[in-house]
Amino acid sequence: MTTAPQPAIQPIPQSISDKTFALSKRLFVYKPGLFAFNLLMWTMVHASPALLTLAISGVFRELEAADKLRLAGTSTSGNIEPLIAAAWVAVGWFAFVRVSRFGIFYGAFRAWIELWYTLDALVRRNMLGYLLTARRARRLPDTPAESVTRFRDDVDDVAGYTEVWVDGWGILAFSIIAIALMAQIDPLITALVCAPLLLMVLFVQRLSPIIRSYRRRMREATGRVTDFIGETFGAVSAVKLAAREGQMVSHLVKLGEVRRSAALRDVLLTELIRGVNTNMVNIAVGLVLLLGANKIRGGALDVADFVLFIGLLPRLTGSMGFFGDAIARHRRTGVSYDRMNRLLQDAPRDQTVQHHPVYLHADPPEVAPLPAAGTAEAQPLEELRVDGLTALHPSGMGLRDASFSVRRGEFVVVTGRIGSGKTTLLRALLGLIPTDSGTVSWNGQPVEDPASFLVPPRSAYTAQIPNLFSDSLRENVLSGSAPDRLSRAVRLAVLEPDVQQLGSGLETPVGARGVKLSGGQVQRAAVARMLARDADLLVFDDVSSALDARTEAVLWDGLFAETDATCLVVSHRRAALTRADRILLLEGGRITDEGTLAELLERSAEMRALWAEDGGEG
């Protein structure tokens, strides 16, 4: 099937932010029992202060009643003792609620941590799963370092937004109870207290576009800093060789200053909102004191009612501030959904919140092994055919109209000068980059999506600059393959002598990106990893670049002696060219000739020049 041109990455529409709640609701119902338990526990935590305030007010009410009897000269043990007993009951109720609240808070906190980490894990699992398994070729819209900030900060924002809904119902319940109690005592004071708080909510609503803008700029600036740091650590040798340490530090300082400025704006806006909320508490308390003092003197407001007002007011104003902050967090969460969807590009809008198992308290189940090469399930290779494959870079360079075939058991070498399109050919064939046109067929059947089809056990690939994980050499080679394939893969990759010299053998940690190994060892470890896949088609992208001629010759000899693998190899070395069944000669992004080494040396001046440039190695 013809691979359609890939459209340019489009920005996620602003309307995605309008669906923040719809997306978050999918997270809420992922663990409905756990979410409901959090709601219940935190509702009790946030609503219980109303009971505490009522208990305190009750103590003053009973004591005030007893004091009135005493002042009136009508107090007797018969009418005073019940009031004192009632006051002690209120004190006991206060102590019971207070102690119970500590216990409830402990359980609620543990439940919240469980929910937070579960949702964090789910969103990250969905993002990583899509990036690894999505159909069609794709490039990350940003650098890996910038992508890390989306996995870290944006996911935390999305999971943390759940806190608004977990806390919100309890705070809302407290607010309703508090306003109802206060309105019963004095509707005018209650209205005067609540009015500025409601205005605060409207104020935050008006600031929403600025909140979104500042948060997006801060995250983008953070991404640029982490991106630069990642690239710098990956090119330390190049920086030292060019003596550009000072310039690198200077550029990092500039990026840091931009980030500091963006973060400062974001933090200042957040603190402004919180500061206004806090001052509203003081203003409201002041209003109660001014209005309540006169009413107490006039007898319209007793001490118990005043205590109830003062006890409820700070938390009520804090509750109003919470709802103002909740609106701001809603906007910031919309920004995080925007950024995560941009990273996933063409993923469904709800990809980040789809329901899949996560394993926080137990190991995940064993992954089913890949079907062995040559089985019916794996569709054993008879012929791979490419017709009219075109993959152009934005510069206009790349691969144009490439057509060729690879039959089972063949050793096909792709050769050409630097920049002729060799690596582009392999990556386009395997679906690792978008293509503009062309078809790929496996045993005569069109391959709809090479990126998901040409994987083990059908095909395995070693890049020109392979990546290793920060784990042991054993785990890097196996990468989930059956352990019984390890020794054979290590031997065929000519890695055995190196393993014997390493301090811990195959258990040796390779470090980040294989930093503890030499270039040749990294290359051969990647070849061993590919051979452990036991795939029908082996694709090598210039593995000779980090190998000496003797090691490369041993590699090909061992591979031919012990396997009947089909190989597609990019190389300019004579060790590979002399063993090739056919050679594809690339010039300027096009296959200009094809044939055996003898045929090409006879009729192609370009091939003769490449042969002479190799200098007789191998």
- Residue 65's pLDDT band, with cuts at 50, 70 and 90, is low
Q: What tens digit of pLDDT does each residue of 429-484 get?
A: 999 888 999 999 999 999 998 988 998 889 999 998 888 888 888 888 888 788 88
Q: Is residue 548 part of a domain?
A: yes
293 shares its domain with 409: no
Contacts for 466-470: CB closer than 8 Å, 24+ residues apart: 466/514, 466/522, 466/523, 466/525, 466/526, 467/513, 467/514, 468/510, 468/513, 468/514, 468/517, 468/522, 468/525, 468/526, 469/510, 470/509, 470/510, 470/511, 470/512, 470/513
Residue carrying the six token digits 């060892």? 521
How far are the Cα atoms of 146, 450, 458, 554, 565 from residue 373, in angstroms, in the given order? Answer: 38, 17, 7, 24, 10
410 shares its domain with 543: yes
**Do 543 and 527 form a contact (C-beta atoms < 8 A)?**
yes
**Helix 303-344 vs helix 245-298: crossing angle, to nearest 10:** 150
- Which one has a higher pLDDT value, 15 or 91? 91
Cis peptide before 450 (omega within 30 of 0): no
Q: Is residue 368 part of a domain?
A: no
- Which one has a higher pLDDT value, 67 or 189? 189
Q: What is the pLDDT of residue 423?
A: 92
C-alpha triplet 453, 456, 461: angle, nearest 5°: 95
Residue carrying the six token digits 């020794």? 487
Q: What tens digit of pLDDT does each residue of 7-59 get?
A: 333 343 444 445 888 899 999 999 999 999 999 999 999 888 888 788 777 77
- Which one has a higher pLDDT value, 616 or 574? 574
Q: Is residue 364 part of a domain?
A: no
Q: Of the given ranges (81-95, 109-123, 409-423, 482-496), which has the lowest mean pLDDT?
A: 81-95
- Residue 75's pLDDT band, with cuts at 50, 70 and 90, is low
80 shares its domain with 183: yes
Sign of the alpha-carbon torsion through 423, 426, 430, 431: positive
Q: Answer yes or no: is pLDDT of 2 > 60.
A: no
Residue 286 CB coordination number (10 Å):
10
Mean per-residue pLDDT over the chain, rounded? 82
Q: Give the end of a domain, one of 345, 374, 402.
A: 345
- Residue 567's pLDDT band, with cuts at 50, 70 and 90, is very high
Number of domains, the chain: 2
Q: Is residue 7 part of a domain?
A: no
- Residue 607's pLDDT band, with cuts at 50, 70 and 90, is very high
pTM: 0.70
Residue range(s) defining the domain that contains residue 585: 383-613
Q: Answer yes or no: is pLDDT of 300 > 80.
A: no
Q: What is the pLDDT of residue 615?
A: 61
Mean pLDDT of the region 277-290: 70
Q: What is the pLDDT of residue 297?
A: 67
200 shares its domain with 341: yes
d(CA 440, CA 392): 17
- Residue 76's pLDDT band, with cuts at 50, 70 and 90, is low
- Contacts of residue 599, Cβ cutoff 8 Å, sequence gap at least 6: none
CATH code at 554?
A: 3.40.50.300
Distance of CA 153 to the CA centre of its chain: 8
Q: What is the dihedral of CA 393, 397, 403, 405, to 10 degrees?
A: -70
Q: What is the pLDDT of residue 9?
A: 37
Q: What tens digit of pLDDT does each residue of 231-266 get?
A: 787 677 677 777 888 888 898 899 989 989 988 888
Q: Of the given ranges (30-34, 276-280, 418-422, 596-600), which has the lowest mean pLDDT?
A: 276-280
173 shares its domain with 320: yes
Percent pLDDT > 90 in the chain is 30
**Do 431 and 136 form a contact (C-beta atoms < 8 A)?**
yes
**Do 354 and 234 form a contact (C-beta atoms < 8 A)?**
no
Residue carrying the six token digits 């195959």? 506
Q: What is the pLDDT of residue 100?
A: 83
From the list 415, 380, 346, 342, the residue with the least C-alpha distance to 149 is: 342
